A and B are shown apart, each in its own frame.
Chain A
């Protein structure tokens, strides 16, 4: 007997629920003194929440891919377990965000249940919307900066990072525009590139203004990838990469902030003392600028092959202060790698791989250009975002702070990624409906 798509989803969600329960149970056992048995309530709560999401998919997109929602659930569960372990207060906020994320997921499905391709007609709205979202935090009054980067909106007790939603809007715009103009864009006429370059250039400008180079790398990568899928011209990718390197060289010369990132990446440890801008004295770089990078590497190395076990890792100094700043947002991967070890970290990366492959499978199955480009852009963006932050932590590339999808602490990221899953499910449902007679 072959299970229907939705029943497969349900079975997978039960498995995810069990894994979540195990995770919270091990945190509870390790930190009995610190957390209450109520922590197990989280597992029950999440299972109920995903069950609700499942009921919506059963009703709206019955033929959609059965694994994306459980995979998203698994990543979210891994994330909140670690966030909970690092600090129960943030975990509670994150739980609220996940509820909002699931609501946004359901809302997206319901709003676009007739035909999501209606978005194509509003492509310029999405394009301009992306720019507006990128620019919002720059407005005085509502924008706030956290750690020197002005990327947030303050709404009551919550902070919002509109850029996370801008990313999805940008992908929708690029998919719609490239679907319409792919033949002429492939010919390389400037006139046809105009609107796309304008919107893309504006978003890059924001990136330079806000010093948010992680997002810059992400948008640029998504742009090149979608351009390649639409035009099949590798030369565009090559030229784009060349432009990127040239631009990086210019930025490197002109921006001390970027220069510092590159130096920290190449030479995090010094044997002689160098100038430290934080205290104005001569210090070893590992004790100043690259402190976060190297301590996060120590954290990863401390996990070794098998990890310390959930709840048994070392994240605070002897006086109880955090060892690695931003541990539960940008650096959640180093916390997970310490407690779950190489086995757990590799498993986590494999979950990302499966997620991305399911996304591309949807793109392949889709019948129209817009759907293909949309699914490919969302899937590649998902993979690239994981690569930019984890690669930065692991010194594969220079470190830039962006969130690890579904896992990092951060409301906007969780909500926007749930919207991303909803869009992929809509594309998948349509493709499978067309394929079945």
Chain B
């Protein structure tokens, strides 16, 4: 019988070895796939056993996201709380039992300490062996809490956004989106429904939308920065190129009128002007003619150099950022549109002053201003200054990067002058700061309703050596011109950031 016994013992061991192999499969190869499954309740709970890292402002004192301990079934779980409630809600995002958004989502690996860098692996193992809690990494943002708070106050519940950046580095200093919401409500009964009912003076309040990066509006006259850049950089025009403004421009035999004057309501007529004066007073007919001369292809080409037609890089989740460019409605909704033959398919005269079907995000228009401030080189936007391990070691430190050169330094210098004229004696005088040279551009985009506008202002200062760039958009303003509505907001945010 011994032969059979030996064979049977081998069979028994083979059975158990199969179990070892199967366990190996589920605990190594299959792990990644199982972790991502929606119905993984273990993972959904396990994430709360980790004390997520803090999200802090640039001053190292303001905490945007912290933890709240709770004992459940003998385990200590860590839920999020947001001490600044709605201050930068759309950017910070949230991490709740149901879902995650914003930086809380995109930086999840760092915040939960699951990013496999040496410090995390070591510290996490120590924590586990000691029976302690695994601590995530803290994230320090470039966001200036004081400027952020001021921007939110200035928006005052209106729909709109304020974004500020250091044009030399690309560091985001403020990113305000209004209306906002209190992320602490999300874990409360009916909190989500309550947030959705938020009221604000615009057709779609959408408090969850990060208007600074994902909100799209016609850029209006702020787009003249792009048109002027193309006009000067290609050498087709000089600042002194002369135009005759009859109050309109003729395109395909039709008249495209200037905007009406804020006081009289009639179409403004300027007569003989230069390209620079056309910029200073934001004369549509001048830029309409520039556009016709340059062609839509060239203008779109320059827009792309500033970042249009691509999702601008930032640490927030990719679906919380929208690319700027021409949009057209399709059966799948409004979609980004790259015309195959722009010179015939696009109404270039209206494109040149930012109407047509051009839509831009505040971050994109800020980047145009910042590029001009930065001598023609596009800075790469970032909002995470550094990631710090729970043991205090620096895990990553963001080094400023440049996305590339959009325009020649001379062109940037000329545009800088144009923008100084706007604030000194043009449409943007409301942004003047005593003792500081401010450069800016207003925009007043038409909406579907008569005399209701989206008000824009893009600026930077000090013009000689720019340290701060700001973009403001305020949505759905009756008789609200960029110079009157948006420029004063930009001014106080600029002052705050220059002073601090």
Contacts and interface: CB of A to CB of B under 8 A. Distances in A.
B334 interface: no
Given A301-B27, A372-B1, A360 B8 contact: yes
Given A33-B71, A298-B37, A302-B46, A352 B16 contact: yes
B35 A301 contact: yes
Contacts, number: 173
Nearest to B48: A318
User: Chain A interface mostly helix, strand, loop or mixed?
Assistant: helix
Nearest to B71: A33
Contact of A349 (B1, B6, B16, B39): B16
A202 interface: no
20 contacts: A31-B74, A33-B74, A33-B76, A232-B3, A298-B37, A301-B31, A302-B42, A314-B49, A316-B75, A317-B45, A318-B97, A350-B20, A353-B13, A353-B16, A357-B13, A363-B5, A373-B1, A380-B11, A391-B15, A396-B18
A31 B49 CA distance: 13
B27 A342 contact: yes
Given A323-B42, A346-B24, A387-B18, 20 more contacts: A33-B74, A229-B4, A232-B1, A232-B3, A284-B39, A286-B39, A301-B30, A302-B43, A305-B27, A311-B131, A314-B42, A317-B45, A323-B41, A345-B20, A352-B16, A353-B13, A360-B8, A373-B1, A383-B16, A387-B15
Interface in A340-359: 341-342, 345-346, 349-350, 352-353, 356-357
User: Chain B interface mostly helix, strand, loop or mixed?
Assistant: helix
A345 B19 CA distance: 10
A369 interface: yes
A428 B15 CA distance: 24
B274 to A, nearest CB: 64
Nearest to B133: A312
B189 interface: no
A360 B12 contact: yes
Contacts of B6: 360, 364
Interface string A62-84: 00000000000000000000000
A405 to B, nearest CB: 12
B359 to A, nearest CB: 36
Identify which of B13, B40, B43, B73 gathers the most chain A CB atoms within 10 Å of its CB: B73
A349 B131 contact: no
B22 A396 contact: yes
B158 to A, nearest CB: 38
Contacts of A228: 4, 8
A356 B128 contact: no
Interface string A239-272: 0000000000000000000000000000001000
Interface in A293-309: 294-295, 297-306, 308-309
A300 B12 contact: no
A21 interface: no
Nearest to B45: A314
Contact of B27 (A269, A303, A356, A360): A303
B18 A391 contact: yes
Interface in B28-65: 28, 30-31, 34-35, 37, 39-46, 48-49
A287 B75 CA distance: 25
A312 B72 contact: no
A49 interface: no
**Interface range on chain A: under 10, 10 to 19, 20 to 34, or 35 or more?**
35 or more
A287 B41 CA distance: 10
Interface of A: 26, 29-34, 225, 228-230, 232, 269, 284, 286-287, 294-295, 297-306, 308-309, 311-312, 314-320, 323, 337-338, 341-342, 345-346, 349-350, 352-353, 356-357, 360, 363-364, 369, 372-373, 376, 379-380, 383-384, 386-387, 390-391, 394-396
Contact of A391 (B3, B22, B26, B131): B22
A72 to B, nearest CB: 16
Contacts of B131: 26, 29-32, 309, 311-312
Given A363-B5, A364-B2, A337 B41 contact: no
Contacts of A373: 1
B130 interface: yes
B43 to A, nearest CB: 6
Nearest to B27: A342
A312 B34 contact: no
A341 B12 contact: no
Contacts of A269: 37, 39
Given A30-B131, A309-B129, A318-B97, A396 B5 contact: no
A51 B5 CA distance: 32
Contacts of A31: 74, 131
B23 A356 contact: no
B9 interface: yes
Contacts of A320: 72-73
Identify which of A306, A314, A345 gathers the most chain B CB atoms within 10 Å of its CB: A314
A118 to B, nearest CB: 21
